[in-house]
Structure 1
Amino acid sequence: MRTTRTSQQQHAQLPVEHGPFGWLRALGPDGRRAFGGAFGGYALDSYDFFTLPLTMVAVSAYFGLDAGRTGLLTTVTLVVSAVGGAFAGVVADRIGRVRALMITVATYAVFTVACGFAPTYEMLLVFRALQGLGFGGEWAVGAILVAEYASAGHRGRTLGAVQSAWAAGWALAVVVCTLVFQYVDPDTAWRVVFWTGALPALLLVYVRRGVRDAPAATEQRLSTARTTSGAATFAAIFRGPLRRTTLFAVLLSTGVQGGYYTLATWVPTFLKNDRHLTVVGTGGYLAFLISGAFLGYLTGGYLTDVLGRKKNIAVFAVASAVCIVLYTHLPAGAKTLLLVLGFPLGFCMSAIFSGFGSFLSELYPTAVRGTGQGFTYNTGRAVGAFFPTLVGCLAGSWGVGGALVFGAVGYAIAVLALLGLPETRDRELL
């Protein structure tokens, strides 16, 4: 009871802030530093992830891969990320959010660099899998860290702003990849791009020096450690009413991430092989896609506070499915329309994620929040990871564009999953 009263008192004392950046001011100095650490971690998480999709054509040519083996590189990353993400959630509940954040960032940085030294396809597959251990945990840990500083009225837009870091990291990866491939031979360029994955090491210095867990979360963790009742375990999120929540949250994560990673993995290849653009030539098309994504994260964060978590996800799931069908079925010569349509595609498939950080955080109590969010988000990511492999296997007969329609199936699954979950808007974190 002591922890619950403390949490309620802290939320009650938070200043009421208005204006476009009221959510940021309301976090307070410690909350803003936590936001900076989570934003930077997720941006560099995104950067390191996209080193593969953006170099996939060169990697495939270098090792002589077919579409199925190429798609497996992404699938193994996402499947292993489920393991890393699930355990990172437990670690965050047991040793704290900040220390868990540092572990995940260091892991994905080290193994992204290692990918650049891979002598064979098999070694690249292993390194990419190990990179997934850190990649899977960072978002869940960073989102929880910030969510526990944010007030209920601002939590959606605050976590939406953290989500926008994904677009920032994606954009940086496109710029770096475009420059490297412009000046370096493709057989070496893909390795150089992976080596730049060492950038997250700089973030660790900032996190170590300036970021700490929210006091209420720390008190709850220490209290749980003393009593050992309600300790963070995977079994805890399958007990009582949490069982239903966990199962439907996994289904929701599976649908949304199956749709998203299908696009993130195969759109660069679709633009090159089906639309016959060079690696450098895809930059303009990806710029529209990424610009839409960045604004989608921010807009979705605002709407998730206004409309509610479930309505925001449902609206953009339907819109994303429609955009996928349109984007992949334009006439081959409609390059201008393809360019323009990239903006709403990026907008919709990103806005749907803005409510995830707040929604999953609000579904679980503090003692198992990291475990619940880490498990559901990353198990969904692992199952959804088979969507890109399915596209790769069907690309030979259907074409990449035709196979990409399976992304729309993922969004349909997400809408169905919402029927089994409660609305959590305005719910305090206890």
Structure 2
Amino acid sequence: MSSTPPPETTALPAPAPSPAASETGPPGWLHALGPRGRRAFAGAFGGYALDAYDYFTLPLSMVALAAYFGLDSGQTGLFTTVTLVVSAIGGALAGVLADRIGRVRALMITVITYAVFTVACGFAPNYETLLVLRALQGLGFGGEWAVGAILVAEYASARHRGRTLGAVQSSWAVGWALAAIVYTLVFSLVDDDLAWRVMFWTGALPALLVVWMRRRVQDAPEAVAVRERSAGRGSFAEIFRPGLARTTFFAVLLSTGVQGGYYTLATWVPTYLKTERDLSVVGTGGYLALLISGAFAGYLTGGHLTDRLGRRRNIWLFAVLSALCIVTYARIPSGAGTLLLLLGFPLGFCMSAIFSGFGSFLSELYPTAVRGTGQGFTYNTGRAVGAVFPTTVGFLADSWGVGGALAFGAVGYGLAALALLGLPETRGRELT
């Protein structure tokens, strides 16, 4: 069974790069998008940054939530699990919507969904209600990245697609940094029993982005043409037909491993720093600053490397490096605060650079008519299955400690490296 998707039934010309495009300097990929492509990039960048901001309101508030509701580690870990599991449903549905009603419309729906339910979390009267609201937030959270990545990928040239999508991916670090800054301010000025609610209420920010996107952002013309003429668009059955089923299976496995490792760190590092390293709110923010700056640099670097080395080599390289970093980070001896600080940068760099190729890689694995469905399903099913990792760490933490349990995340990166054996290299593949 071939893992290479069949060509489109009708070849359409790729959009011509802007005359101002530079083929050598870093601005080249941005100029090559053209005016409409740059607006699409801005919409996807902003949407993913705010997606990250709304996501991190929970991990950063985890200690306060546990104290307020009297939760153990397993119960707090369940917050992340339900978010990620439900995000698989939201991501798969968003992918189908992207193929049926268009990328931009689907993107706006995902942004509105995660914003509304993030704000609602701030009004939760008990643990059970918060758990349900956080799960519903996952519906929007799950779809935003896949839809935004496809929107931009269909404007980007094959030569620049890796670094273009890597730049979009870097917005996750921007949103994470914004959440860390707001967390530091809010928890320094407001009592913990109210501060976690304030954090969730600030999740209303994405509504402003939706207003701008509705007026300024459009789908790539080629994607519109394919959607209008394709009878099989937005069908789950299509991504499991001969020629694509093998690709779908291994893409899910790849997403499971990478996201299992990543969300283990994203969920538990703030708790680890505060409970086992006894860092103050400001101190935790300082450590996170280095971790987040490493992540931002990793996204941009990984985007360039995925164009130079290829999609598979880039992911393999950073899977190995991420596994080494997470094991080392979790085993730093007590009292080695400087070493903990310094290792934060390479940890953030490696665990983020591995994601830089995902937007281009998954987009290139599927034909235009089912690209949204394929990317939405594989990325978010992997996210849901990978959600087992943070919960497992939560239960292991009761006996091993958070630091010892964190090393379990390295298993995910081993799984990702294994999945690459079943996927083709797609660097240079045109999307039309």
Of 399, 411, 417, the residue aligned with 1:409 is 411
Amino acid across the alignment from 2:130: L
C-alpha distance in 1 between matches for 2:283 and 2:147: 36
8 A Cα contact 2:17 2:34, kept in partner: no
Alignment of 1:317-396 (within 5 A): 317-396=319-398
Of 10, 28, 32, the residue aligned with 1:22 is 28
C-alpha distance in 1 between matches for 2:417 and 2:426: 16
Of 298, 301, 310, the residue aligned with 2:300 is 298
Q: What is the aligned-residue RMSD (CA, Å)?
A: 1.3
8 A Cα contact 1:310 1:423, kept in partner: yes
- Unmatched tracts of structure 2, length 5 or more: 1-6
Task: Quote the offset at 1:10 in angstroms.
Answer: 2.9
* TM-score after normalising by structure 1: 0.97
Amino acid across the alignment from 1:10: P
Task: Quote the offset at 1:21 in angstroms.
Answer: 1.1
C-alpha distance in 1 between matches for 2:172 and 2:18: 31
Given the alignment of the two structures, is residue 107 of structure 1 paired with residue 113 of structure 2, yes or no?
yes
C-alpha distance in 2 between matches for 1:232 and 1:297: 29
C-alpha distance in 2 between matches for 1:419 and 1:292: 28
**Deviations, residues 364-410 of structure 1 (Å, cap 9, x unaligned):** 00000000000000000000001000000010101101111111000
**Deviations, residues 74-118 of structure 1 (Å, cap 9, x unaligned):** 100000000000010000000000000000000000000000000
Of 102, 121, 128, the residue aligned with 1:122 is 128
C-alpha distance in 2 between matches for 1:16 and 1:326: 41
Task: Quote the offset at 1:280 in angstroms.
Answer: 2.4
C-alpha distance in 2 between matches for 1:12 and 1:284: 42
Amino acid across the alignment from 2:215: R
**Deviations, residues 260-306 of structure 1 (Å, cap 9, x unaligned):** 00000000001011111122220110000000000000000000000
Of 224, 229, 234, the residue aligned with 1:218 is 224
Task: Quote the offset at 1:5 in angstroms.
Answer: 2.8
Of 173, 192, 214, the residue aligned with 1:167 is 173
SS at match of 2:281: coil
C-alpha distance in 1 between matches for 2:88 and 2:51: 15
Structure 2 partner of 1:10: 15
8 A Cα contact 1:157 1:305, kept in partner: yes
Task: Quote the offset at 1:205 in angstroms.
Answer: 1.1
**Deviations, residues 296-324 of structure 1 (Å, cap 9, x unaligned):** 00000000000000000000000000000
Alignment of 1:3-402 (within 5 A): 4-6=10-12, 8-10=13-15, 17-224=23-230, 228=231, 230-402=232-404
SS at match of 1:304: helix
SS at match of 2:124: coil
**Deviations, residues 208-255 of structure 1 (Å, cap 9, x unaligned):** 01000000000000111xxx2x33211110001100000000000000
Task: Quote the offset at 1:12 in angstroms.
Answer: 8.1
Task: Quote the offset at 1:193 in angstroms.
Answer: 0.4
C-alpha distance in 1 between matches for 2:64 and 2:347: 25
* TM-score after normalising by structure 2: 0.97
C-alpha distance in 2 between matches for 1:338 and 1:107: 37
Amino acid across the alignment from 1:427: R
Task: Quote the offset at 1:179 in angstroms.
Answer: 0.1
**Deviations, residues 121-155 of structure 1 (Å, cap 9, x unaligned):** 00000100000000000000000000000000000
Task: Quote the offset at 1:2 in angstroms.
Answer: 9.2
Percent identity for Structure 1 against Structure 2: 77
SS at match of 1:172: helix
C-alpha distance in 2 between matches for 1:102 and 1:337: 42
Task: Quote the offset at 1:18 in angstroms.
Answer: 2.6
Q: Structure 2 vs 1, CA of residues 384 and 223 (structure 1 numbering), >3 Å: closer, same or farther?
A: same
Amino acid across the alignment from 1:57: V
8 A Cα contact 1:3 1:219, kept in partner: no
Task: Quote the offset at 1:11 in angstroms.
Answer: 5.5
SS at match of 1:17: coil
SS at match of 1:405: helix
Task: Quote the offset at 1:9 in angstroms.
Answer: 4.5
C-alpha distance in 1 between matches for 2:58 and 2:17: 45
C-alpha distance in 2 between matches for 1:346 and 1:409: 17
C-alpha distance in 1 between matches for 2:291 and 2:22: 35
8 A Cα contact 1:67 1:392, kept in partner: yes
C-alpha distance in 2 between matches for 1:28 and 1:13: 5
8 A Cα contact 2:17 2:32, kept in partner: no
Amino acid across the alignment from 2:62: M
C-alpha distance in 2 between matches for 1:179 and 1:231: 47
C-alpha distance in 1 between matches for 2:8 and 2:78: 49
8 A Cα contact 2:15 2:155, kept in partner: no
Amino acid across the alignment from 2:424: P
C-alpha distance in 1 between matches for 2:350 and 2:10: 37
SS at match of 1:52: helix
Q: Structure 2 vs 1, CA of residues 13 and 119 (structure 1 numbering), >3 Å: closer, same or farther?
A: closer
Amino acid across the alignment from 2:237: A
